[in-house]
Amino acid sequence: MSKSAAWLDYQVQAGTSVFRAGGEWNVRQLSNLVDQLEKFELGKCACPVIDLSDITELDTAGAWFLKDIVGRFHREGLETKMVGISALHKPLITLVQQASGSSAEKETPQKKTWLYNFEHIGRAAFEVAKQCKALINFFGITVIAFGRSLRNPRRIRLNSLVHQVEQTALDAVPIVCLLSFLIGVVLAFQGADQLRRFGAEIFTVNLLTLSVLREIGVLMTAIMLAGRSGSAFTAQIGTMQVNEEVDALRTLGLDPVEVLVMPRILALLISLPILTFLSDVMGILGGALMAVAVLDLTFGQFLRQLEEAITLTHFLVGMVKAPFFAYIIGIVGCYEGLRVSGSAESVGRMTTKSVVESIFLVIIADALFSILFSVLKI
């Protein structure tokens, strides 16, 4: 073997296993070193010592390979010590050991023990708590901004408000009406199929009316707006954040909450009740067409039963929820948009997160409303 070639040798001297390393330990010799190391059974080496006195050249690749040898001994439960380190090579070996030590510290928590799982659950709980606190804080900021706008209505940006209403309400009318109509069809068909067993098909109208007016109409509209408008808010504000336009607003002395957030929340507060009303109408219309087709009812009979089933209370129960759902969607969409940082990947991640959070919070709010109305017997 030439003097320049990297080599490894194994000897037992006075009961001590000695690994001798020599030659040029550089990136060109790395494949040769890997082949030589595979020939040794490291687990059978007792009290190993690594002798580096014959190494003539060492670069970063060689130092990392040396660190890997030491790591293999450690994984076998064997302590090692290096001797014969040249003063020229010692700083590089020390630097690599320090870097590998920090990496090992980062990898330690990844062990899948019961303690790690318990810590992971606790960390997730704290993250949820921090997110809730941040959302409540942002809610307070928007309430203060609303108060300033009420005291001075000229602070409301009408052009931006009208533009947002167009995007959230007018542009959403086709999809909301279509889906609500189809949901009404499905509810009427399923309700009639079940009630026919008891000879109570006529009460399909009552079932359709209660479900659409009190729950389905406003809930499905809110979910559609969360996926459509809430995600758009996050993407728009997030892109402005990446392009540093939000920072430019602050530099000009403008409040991003007043300029970007308030018009969007106000637009949703206007749009969602209107879309909820349209959703109720289309849902009942779809149910009416299915009931007439399935139940052999005339349209006049359907209207008479609808008149008996529908009340102002049922209608108001659904409409009261709309502003609350709108505020939730607006706050979450704008808050996640302002949290975007640095890259387009962050925009996509926060957009997805805002949709999930909005839908989750809307359903939670709907459940709380249902409990409240049940307690109040409404």
Task: For the domain made up of 7-110, give the CATH fold.
Answer: Transcription Regulator spoIIAA (3.30.750)
224 contacts 218 by C-beta, under 8 angstroms: no
Q: How far is CA 179 from CA 108, 144, 209, 220, in A?
A: 51, 36, 16, 9
pLDDT band at 359 (very low <50, low <70, confident <90, very high): very high
Task: Give pLDDT, residue 200.
Answer: 80
Task: Give pLDDT, residue 94.
Answer: 83
* 284-307: average pLDDT: 86
Q: Which residues pair with 13 in a beta bridge?
A: 16
The string of pLDDT tens digits covering residues 177-191 is 999 999 999 999 888
Domain ranges of the chain: 7-110, 156-375
pLDDT of residue 170 exceeding 70, the answer is: yes
The string of pLDDT tens digits covering residues 32-73 is 777 777 776 655 555 567 888 888 888 888 788 888 877 777
Closest C-alpha to 272, from 225, 331, 318, 328: 225
Integer Cα distance of 328 and 362 in angstroms: 7
The 3-class SS string of the chain reads CCCCCCEEEEEEECCEEEEEEEEEECHHHHHHHHHHHCCCCHHHCCCCEEEEEEEEEECHHHHHHHHHHHHHHHHCCCCCEEECCCCCCHHHHHHHHHHHHHHHHHHHHHCCCHHHHHHHHHHHHHHHHHHHHHHHHHHHHHHHHHHHHHHCHHHCCHHHHHHHHHHHCHHHHHHHHHHHHHHHHHHHHHHHHHHHHHCCHHHHHHHHHHHHHHHHHHHHHHHHHHHHHHHHHHHHHHHHHHCCHHHHHHHCCCCHHHHHHHHHHHHHHHHHHHHHHHHHHHHHHHHHHHHHHHHCCCHHHHHHHHHHHCCHHHHHHHHHHHHHHHHHHHHHHHHHHHCCCCCHHHHHHHHHHHHHHHHHHHHHHHHHHHHHHHHCCC
- Residue 213 has which token pair? 């007016």
The better pLDDT of the pair 295, 140 is held by 140
- 268's CB contacts (< 8 A; 6+ apart) are 168, 225, 229, 326, 327, 329, 330
pLDDT of residue 12 exceeding 80, the answer is: no
Provide, rounded to the nearest whole percent, the portion of the chain with pLDDT above 70: 91
The dihedral formed by the CA atoms of 238, 239, 240 and 244, expressed in degrees to the nearest 10: 100
Mean pLDDT of the chain: 85
Type of residue found at 10: Y
The string of pLDDT tens digits covering residues 247-268 is 899 898 888 899 999 999 999 9
Task: Give pLDDT, residue 273.
Answer: 95
pLDDT band at 80 (very low <50, low <70, confident <90, very high): confident
Integer Cα distance of 288 and 205 in angstroms: 8
pLDDT band at 163 (very low <50, low <70, confident <90, very high): very high
* 205-217: average pLDDT: 91
The string of pLDDT tens digits covering residues 84-123 is 788 888 888 888 877 765 444 444 445 557 777 888 888 8
Task: Give pLDDT, residue 327.
Answer: 95
* 265-284: average pLDDT: 94
Q: HSE of 124 in the Cβ direction (CA atoms, 13 Å)?
A: 6
